[in-house]
Copies of this chain bind each other. A is one copy, B any other.
Amino acid sequence: MTDAKPIIVLKHPQLGENIGMVARAMLNFGLTELRLVKPREEWPNDKALSTASGAIEVIENTKVYETLNEAVHDVHMVYGTTARSRDMVNIIHSPATAAHDIQEQHNTGKKTAIVFGAERTGLENDDIALCNALITYPTNPDFSSLNLAQAVLLMSYELMRSENEASDIKLKKGNNTPFATRAEFDNFLNRLYDDLEDKGFFKTEKMKPVMKQNIESMLVRMQMTEQELNTLHGIIAAMKRY
């Protein structure tokens, strides 16, 4: 694994605001290199700075080019993003498979770029032809239009996600307090059963084992900390008070 990241290229972005929001979305997931091909508005751009909400390093290092070819001159693998499928034969990735592919490219020392077209029109066929592979998003077919920053956000997210996947732990606990041991849990459970016995909770002897199973099965799911177990002891003690 390398810590290389793809370059984000915006071709003919229309609004400075959108460029700023793209910069923010990139930095949210650790991407920093942005290139623009002939933005419609002047660059540097105050509106971009403002919507970047602090992603200043991205905005300040943004480079501007005349053509898409120039913008990717030092890149080995160019990925184009597109909503519609095209007639041209091309490798078509989902954001997820693209993220994996990009990582593999980086692992072999290649430099990558992901290209996004203008807000309304997307990439043109000429741009598509330049791309080594395409990326399409699995959106709702009846309502598929993502805005530019959102499209960049999802790709940036996928890249960080695929980096993290190896260390993705399914369930984590939110704090450091120690968990109750089984013995501590059993201790609570037995005291509870004794109390319930005293209070006539178990209506018949025959039902008792099943009722106990149900109680245990429900309580064990809590995966309690020691502190929480103490709270439960406290609740039971309080209820018995008169």
Contact = CB atoms under 8 A, between A and B. Distances in A.
B91 A235 contact: no
B174 A235 contact: no
A215 interface: yes
A89 B228 contact: yes
Interface in A92-128: 92-94, 96-97
B236 A89 contact: no
Interface string A198-239: 011100000000010011001101111101100110111011
Given A168-B96, A174-B85, A140 B218 contact: no
A87 B174 contact: yes
A241 interface: yes
A28 B145 CA distance: 7
Taking the full assembly, how many copies of this chain does it contain?
Answer: 2
Nearest to A31: B140
A221 B218 contact: no
Contacts of A150: 25, 28, 149-150, 153
Contacts of A172: 91-92
Interface stretch (A9-17, A42-50, A62-70, A156-164): A156-164
Contacts of A161: 94, 96, 138
A135 to B, nearest CB: 12
Contacts of A239: 195-196, 199, 236, 239-240
B218 A224 contact: yes
Contact of A214 (B90, B92, B228): B228
A53 interface: yes
20 contacts: A25-B150, A55-B143, A85-B174, A86-B175, A89-B174, A89-B177, A90-B174, A91-B171, A92-B173, A93-B170, A94-B161, A97-B168, A97-B171, A153-B154, A154-B157, A199-B241, A211-B231, A218-B232, A236-B239, A242-B242
